[in-house]
Amino acid sequence: MLKQLKRFTLQVIAGANIATILVMLFVGYSDRVSPETFPTLSTAGLAFPAILVVNLAFLLFWLIFKPLYALIPIGGLLLGFQPVRNYCPLNLLSPSHAEAGKDSVITLLSFNAYNLEQLSVSDFQRHVVDYLLEQDADIVCMQEFQMTVATRETLSNHYPYIDTTRVVRGGDALTVMSRFPILGKQHIYSYSPDNQRAEAHSAAFLLQLDTDTLVVVNSHLESTRLTEQERANFKRIVKGDMERNDAGRESKKLLERLAESTRLRAPQVTALCQYIDSVQRSPQDDKSTPHQKATNGQAGLLLCGDFNDGPISYAHHAVAERLTDCYVKSGNGPGISYHANAFYVRIDHIFCSSQWQPVYTKIDKNMAFSDHYPLICTLKRPLKP
């Protein structure tokens, strides 16, 4: 009798494990669905880490009590390899700076400065500017960054080329600071879902890199638009400090708000992908844009910024189909870049075209004056023969 009960219990647990795997795969590959069609489904990726942890817990359980059954969660991890790797890459053998050899190496830093709302002007000068100078990156892309005259003068001694552009309707500034000459810039326009107005949440900057031209795209896609109260309520839900009924209502409200933001973000992602496609066409292609024809296509494209979407999202998947995610390729761990109000997720990304190879990418948690951590990537480009 006891033996039968044990067998039945193991079967029930195995069934629960299989069900968890199916949910994990459904959530993990939900990033293929456009938010314009199924906006609520587009938020499913937020649940992926919790489901992944449950599957890993099953793996540990089976290894202790029934090793043969560990094949169930292992099979699930293999089937969901791509979303698992997108969320938590492991690149323990990533090449070092030294291994880059004689290749052309640059460092790119992307940072959402939160409009420096937590800092006074003096604090900004002392902390953020000093931090940027200390990092000594070749190219810095900033979002929500207000460039004062004094700040520009301080940084220009290190970065002789600085350009700032504001997106449509007086939105936040997108700034690029570079050791390489900035030849020009262009907004990347999209239309809102109702097609009533044009918006720009990304801007492309042309940089002169030796005898080639490098396209650097700085992006800040549609915000979640959560109010401070809604963010605080989410933190209370996570900590268990809210009554069950209130938590249910608030969770539904937050889900609807997040779904709406992903729907608004979708056309911005489409415009961004169309721009990437245009840049990666041959310069002789009749469909190439005038902006793309201004480049010789040899130095490729780097794209970075605050996507307001995690590694399991439509926005990330659409861009990753065209470019290499530098963190997935050369980073380690979940790489939390947003850390406020119990929202712990990687929503800041750096991508590169095939002309570049990520050497090492990291989230720098030493700079905690914003709700985002900076994302830093070293890339190499093989020298021409």
> Which of 93-107, 126-140, 277-291, 350-364: highest mean pLDDT?
350-364
CA 311, distance to chain mean position in Å, is 6
DSSP state, 257?
H
The upper half-sphere exposure of residue 306, i.e. CA atoms within 13 Å in the direction of its Cβ, equals: 25
CA–CA separation, 357 vs 378, rounded Å? 9
pLDDT tens track for 22-58: 999 999 999 999 998 888 888 889 899 999 999 999 9
Distance, in Å, from the CA atom of 262 to the CA atom of 307, rounded to the nearest integer, reads: 10
For 133-137, 169-173, 289-293, 324-328, which range has the lowest pLDDT when averaged over its residues?
A: 289-293
Checking if the pLDDT of 347 tops 70, the result is: yes
* pLDDT of amino acid 216: 96
349 pLDDT more than 70: yes
Mean residue pLDDT across the chain: 85
Distances (CA, A) of 105 to 53, 108, 159, 227, 355: 37, 10, 17, 41, 12
The pLDDT of 212-238, averaged and rounded, is: 80
| Structure tokens that stand for 382 in this block | 């093989």
**Mean pLDDT confidence for 218-236:** 78
Token pair belonging to 265: 């973000």
Res 189: pLDDT: 86
pLDDT at 290: 46
What is the tens place of the pLDDT at every residue in 70-102? 999 999 999 999 999 999 999 987 555 445 555
Report how far residue 194's alpha carbon sits from residue 301's, in angstroms, rounded to the nearest whole number. 30
Q: What is the DSSP string of 127-195?
A: IIIHHHHHHT-SEEEEES----HHHHHHHHTT-SEEEEEE-GGG--EEEEEESSPEEEEEEEEEE-TTS
Name the residue type at position 376: I
User: Which pLDDT score is estimated for 214?
Assistant: 94
Q: What is the pLDDT of residue 217?
A: 96
Mean pLDDT, range 242-247, rounded to an integer: 67
Instruction: Name the nearest CA neighbour of 222 among 303, 306, 160, 318.
Output: 306
**Would you state the pLDDT for residue 104?**
81
pLDDT given for residue 81 in this prediction: 96
Query: Would the pLDDT of 308 be above 60?
Result: yes
How confident is the model over 263-289, as pLDDT tens digits?
Answer: 889 999 999 999 999 998 755 454 555
Element (H, E) at 264: helix 244-279
pTM of the model: 0.89
> Does residue 333 carry a pLDDT above 80?
yes
